[in-house]
Amino acid sequence: MEETLKIIVLVKHVPDAQLDRHLNGADYTTDRAESILSELDEYALEAALQLTEAQGGKGAGHQVIALSMGPAGAANAIKKSLQIGATEGVHLKDDALAGSDAAATSLALAATVRYLSAGSPVDLILTGMASTDGETSLVPAQLAERLGLPQVTFASELEISAGRITARRDSDTHYDTIEAPLPAVVSVTDQINEPRFPNFKGIIAAKRKTIITLSLADIGVNPAEVGLSGSWTAVQNAEPRPPRTAGTIITDEGDAGIQLVDFLAAQKLL
Amino acid sequence: MANVLVFIDNQSPTLKKSSLELLTIARTLGEPVAAFNGEFNDDVAAALSSYGVTAVYRPGSADLDDYLVAPKAAYLAEAVAATGAGTVLIENSSDGKEIAARLGIKLGAGVVTDVVGVEADGGAHKSVLAGSYKTVCRATTPVSILTVKANSVTPEPAPTATTPESVTIEVPAAATANAARITGRSNKATSGRPDLLDARIVVAGGRGVDGDFGPVEELADALGAAVGASRAATDAGWISHDAQVGQTGKTVSPELYISAGISGAVQQKAGMQTAKVIVAINNDAESPVFEIADFGIVGDLFEVLPQATAEIKKRKG
Ligand SMILES: Cc1cc2nc3c(=O)[nH]c(=O)nc-3n(C[C@H](O)[C@H](O)[C@H](O)COP(=O)(O)OP(=O)(O)OC[C@H]3O[C@@H](n4cnc5c(N)ncnc54)[C@H](O)[C@@H]3O)c2cc1C
Ligand SMILES: Nc1ncnc2c1ncn2[C@@H]1O[C@H](COP(=O)(O)O)[C@@H](O)[C@H]1O
């Protein structure tokens, strides 16, 4: 039996890690000027596409909704998700959201998920293992807690059947098999798949897909509950890490291995 | 003094070093109390009393380990209520961070992850943006939850031991109702080498080893080091994913990190740039890894590593 799936994929627009990244202003908020779709969220999107493809693919009426909370530029992360294969996009955008920590972000995202569930229930919320800027991995667990849903996190394999999800989760010492009923919040690692690139057909098709923009008023969230004022943590001080002092670089002329051991001995590391 | 609740999720017969570190930090912030899950034996009891714990809270049901994190957060919420703790310390593992996450929502408490040091007033030190900034963060809520990285402090027993009282906390029945279950577990093979996260020295190989980790492993064994790898090497299947160092692998801070055949991409640096001494061997002088190396060798790792290994063995006799 094939079911029609309604999947929300959480995609974040983050500063490009290949460039220098900065914290700005009195509250040390992240500079989002040169941002991209968080690479780790591409694995979640790919997982969503593979799940729908395993159940009849395009003609089957599955929904893969790319949801991003962020300033105007976040629309680019959603656009890229549509080019890769998401069927629709949702952009939660409101000036009051700036500076939200994980607690405030999960509050706003939970309200958006409820809003998007109003017509028909959501089966699955897929996320990345961590945002490449916040790097906390808090949002998926907090979203699950706020929505009262089971959380299946750090999945490196994923399967759904008969309204249940089965995942493999790796820890340092063991592999676990995790099972939960749907709907569930599921985060995936970069081991789960090989994300596809947008192709020409996808780029053309994305032009016909819609991005719905929602404000806090639309989802019924009080602006005081989010942003800096609604956050439960604050950055009190931030200093760029001093660059490492330049080291000694030698070119091997046949005895570099010996010189390496001399260096280690001098540093008392042998 | 205010209570500081330390969550000890113990899966072995003795307390982990990281748990002792949390207790050591707790004593600097207030009166340490422990919420304990796992096998509670005489060794554990003795360790808790020598670390100055004044009360031990244990769950009334034993099946918390059958579920993924959610019921542990429910248990901790009850423990915080019972102790009136203003600070909760949890280890910074993936489970620990997620327990903290859910606990934070239950209590309306701010969570700071990846903490490497805590000031007496609760300010928490952590690095952000892949180590490019050092910050002081704090929870602005009545209760603050901190997940603390291993090896942040040296464990130190209390000046005087305590006789902790023992309290049972009932876990709400609803806590397991809609939680994900752990239905299977298999242990990973161990390498016999030091654990990557605790090792004093790490020797890591990348795409440059071209399928052959032999020279990396031999140097590691001569130095008593752990073996690490770049994602290019683990993705190629040359070595287990457990060895991966970096943004989506492990973060290590050893005294010495030897990088061989690794270019030094930002995601690799995220996991190793806080090492005290960095040595890089790469045959491309333009490789970015040389920007962070204290000692860099432009050369072929298949020449340099075996020569160094032989020299170490010779000197060690
Ligand atoms: C979302 C995301 C997460 C990632 N997470 C991680 C992570 O956690 N860890 C990680 O490492 N990477 C991670 N990466 C990948 C990272 O961007 C790089 O692609 C990867 O680190 C490259 O590995 P490498 O340096 O081994 O390979 P390359 O970049 O190909 O470098 C190989 C190096 O070996 C040198 N070399 C070749 N032959 C020899 C020889 N005989 N002797 C000496 N030197 C030689 C070459 O000059 C070259 O510099 C991630 C990427 C993304 C997008
Ligand atoms: N502002 C956001 N918009 C959409 N998704 C987000 C946002 N912040 C976090 N997420 C999701 O939550 C995951 C974990 O993020 P974090 O908890 O910040 O490490 C990311 O990989 C995203 O899938």
Q: How far apart are CA B251 and CA B247, in angstroms?
A: 7
> Nearest CA of chain B to the CA of A86: how many Å?
24
| Ligand lying nearest the CA atom of residue A102 | 2
Pairing state between β B3-10 and B87-91: parallel
Only one residue has tokens 């780790």, namely: A40
* Residue of B89, B97, B115 lying closest to B22 (CA atoms): B89
* Residue of B39, B136, B145, B32 lying closest to B97 (CA atoms): B145
* pLDDT(A2) > 60: no
* Residue of B311, B39, B299, B63 lying closest to B182 (CA atoms): B63
Cα B91 to ligand 1 centre (Å): 30
Token pair in block for residue A47: 């997982």
For the beta sheet containing B87-91, the strands, ordered from the edge strand earlier in sequence to the opposite edge, are B110-115, B144-148, B87-91, B3-10, B31-38, B55-59, B165-169
Cα B251 to ligand 2 centre (Å): 20
Q: What is the arithmetic mean of pLDDT over A97-112?
A: 97
> Nearest CA of chain B to the CA of A234: how many Å?
6
The radius of gyration of chain A from alpha carbons, rounded to an integer in Å, stands at 22
* pLDDT(A56) > 70: yes
Same fold? B3-177, B201-316: yes
Ligand 1 lined by B234 (C-beta under 6 Å): no
Q: How far apart are CA B187 and CA B198, in angstroms?
A: 19
Name the residue at shortest CA distance from atom 6 of ligand 2: A12
> Tens-of-pLDDT digits for all 317 residues of chain B?
689 999 999 988 899 999 999 999 999 999 999 999 999 999 999 999 999 999 999 999 878 999 999 999 999 999 999 999 999 999 999 999 999 999 999 999 999 999 999 999 999 999 998 888 999 999 999 999 999 998 899 999 999 999 999 999 999 988 998 999 999 999 888 878 998 988 999 999 999 999 999 999 999 999 999 999 999 999 999 999 999 999 999 999 899 999 999 999 999 999 999 899 999 999 999 999 999 999 999 999 999 999 999 999 999 98
Contact B139, B112 (CB under 8 A): yes
Ligand 2 lined by A105 (C-beta under 6 Å): yes
pLDDT, greater one: A265 or A20: A265
* pLDDT(A1) > 70: no
Q: State the CATH class of domain A6-230.
A: alpha beta
Q: How far apart are CA B67 and CA A150, in angstroms?
A: 10
ipTM, two decimals, is: 0.94
pLDDT, tens digit (0-9, with 9 covering 90-100), for A171-187: 877 899 999 999 999 99
Residue B295 to residue A260, Cβ atoms within 8 A: yes
How high is the mean pLDDT of chain A? 94
pLDDT, tens digit (0-9, with 9 covering 90-100), for B221-246: 999 999 999 999 999 999 999 999 99
Residues of chain A with Cβ-Cβ distance to B223 below 8 Å are 270
Looking at domain B201-316, its CATH superfamily turns out to be TPP-binding domain (3.40.50.1220)
B174-to-A113, A148, B139, B179 alpha-carbon distances in Å: 23, 11, 28, 9
Name the residue at shortest CA distance from atom 37 of ligand 1: B208
| Ligand lying nearest the CA atom of residue A129 | 2
Residues shown for chain B: 317
Residue A191 to residue B241, Cβ atoms within 8 A: yes
- Any chain A CB within 8 A of the CB of B115? no
Domain boundaries, chain B: 3-177, 201-316
Token pair in block for residue B48: 């808790």
The radius of gyration of chain B from alpha carbons, rounded to an integer in Å, stands at 22
Q: What is the pLDDT of residue A151?
A: 97
* Residue of A163, A159, A139 lying closest to A151 (CA atoms): A139
Model-level pTM?
Answer: 0.94
Q: How far apart are CA B24 and CA B19, in angstroms?
A: 9
Name the residue at shortest CA distance from atom 8 of ligand 1: B246
Q: What is the arithmetic mean of pLDDT over A217-230?
A: 97
Residue B296 to residue A248, Cβ atoms within 8 A: yes
Fold held by B3-177: Rossmann fold (3.40.50)
Burial of A251 (0-12, 13-18, 19+ CB in 10 A): exposed
Burial of A222 (0-12, 13-18, 19+ CB in 10 A): exposed
Token pair in block for residue B25: 């930090």
- Any chain B CB within 8 A of the CB of A228? no
Contact A192, A157 (CB under 8 A): yes
Chosen from B9, B106, B129 to mutate, greatest number of chain A CBs within 10 A = B129
Sign of CA dihedral A34, A40, A44, A47: positive
Only one residue has tokens 């000197």, namely: B315
How high is the mean pLDDT of chain B? 95
Q: What is the pLDDT of residue B192?
A: 86
Phi, psi of A234 (to 5 degrees): -140, 145
Other C-beta atoms lying within 10 Å of the C-beta of residue A253: 8
Contact B78, B170 (CB under 8 A): yes
Element (H, E) at B291: none
Q: How far apart are CA A208 and CA A43, in angstroms?
A: 24
> Nearest CA of chain B to the CA of A57: how many Å?
27
Residues ≥6 apart with Cβ < 8 Å to B89: B4, B5, B6, B7, B22, B25, B26, B146, B147, B148
Residue A177 to residue B182, Cβ atoms within 8 A: yes
- Any chain B CB within 8 A of the CB of A18? yes
> Nearest CA of chain A to the CA of B307: how many Å?
5
Cα B211 to ligand 1 centre (Å): 13
Q: How far apart are CA A133 and CA B131, in angstroms?
A: 11
